A and B are shown apart, each in its own frame.
Chain A
Amino acid sequence: KAGVTQTPRYLIKTRGQQVTLSCSPISGHRSVSWYQQTPGQGLQFLFEYFSETQRNKGNFPGRFSGRQFSNSRSEMNVSTLELGDSALYLCASSLAPGSNEKLFFGSGTQLSVL
């Protein structure tokens, strides 16, 4: 069974641009969560989606948005990029909400904003 796939693996953007990151969950998993990871800050929760509906949103500005498609694939978008948005963006999937005790993570997208 294929794992969680995130594309692209690396991205370099400049301030003010926007970016879209993609995540394909494990087959059969319908819940997708996104986390931002920066050195020394752990994993900060961004969003959680299930059945194309956003169930939770973390404490991030409105420049961060996301969506989930009918095939459970998810995308997140960051508009008007800032230097502080440089981070590793991780996607995780689980069978459904309520099985969050065990998340399966992708390798992430490393975003660098110059």
Chain B
Amino acid sequence: GQSLEQPSEVTAVEGAIVQINCTYQTSGFYGLSWYQQHDGGAPTFLSYNALDGLEETGRFSSFLSRSDSYGYLLLQELQMKDSASYFCAVYPSGNTPLVFGKGTRLSVIA
């Protein structure tokens, strides 16, 4: 089976950098994804890591280390609009659906 652990809440200051960690236990997977969800909104795809290393998309970067069973989402130059919930998700091997963590609620304060 698969399980993912991420902090439930994180608070950071506008303009700062924040890292949201995701540790997982899985028997095998293709990659790790990150989704953002604003209150009352739909989850939206942010990034996907199929390989170890860093993927950068504008202010957001995502990292994966399979040997450490660990990944993170890095948000730079935080803006108030980044206040949202962030979910990591593994794409397991085989005919199995995406498995999500319980989400990290990020609050950006002035």
Contact = CB atoms under 8 A, between A and B. Distances in A.
Interface stretch (B11-19, B76-84, B92-100): B92-100
A87 to B, nearest CB: 14
Contacts of A106: 42
B42 A105 contact: yes
Q: How large is the interface on B (under 10, 10 to 19, 20 to 34, 35 or more residues)?
A: 20 to 34
B45 A102 contact: yes
Nearest to A43: B100
A41 B101 CA distance: 8
Contacts of A107: 40-42
B85 to A, nearest CB: 9
Interface string A72-102: 0000000000000000001010000100111
B91 A100 contact: yes
Contacts of B69: none
A100 B100 contact: no
B87 A43 contact: yes
B102 A103 contact: no
B96 A56 contact: yes
Given A40-B102, A43-B87, A108 B97 contact: no
A108 B110 CA distance: 31
Nearest to A99: B91
B7 interface: no
26 contacts: A4-B42, A35-B100, A40-B8, A42-B87, A42-B101, A43-B87, A43-B89, A45-B99, A55-B95, A58-B97, A90-B42, A90-B43, A92-B43, A100-B91, A101-B30, A101-B31, A101-B33, A101-B48, A101-B50, A101-B91, A101-B98, A102-B48, A104-B45, A105-B42, A106-B42, A107-B41
Interface of B: 8, 30-31, 33, 35, 40-45, 48, 50, 87, 89, 91, 95-103
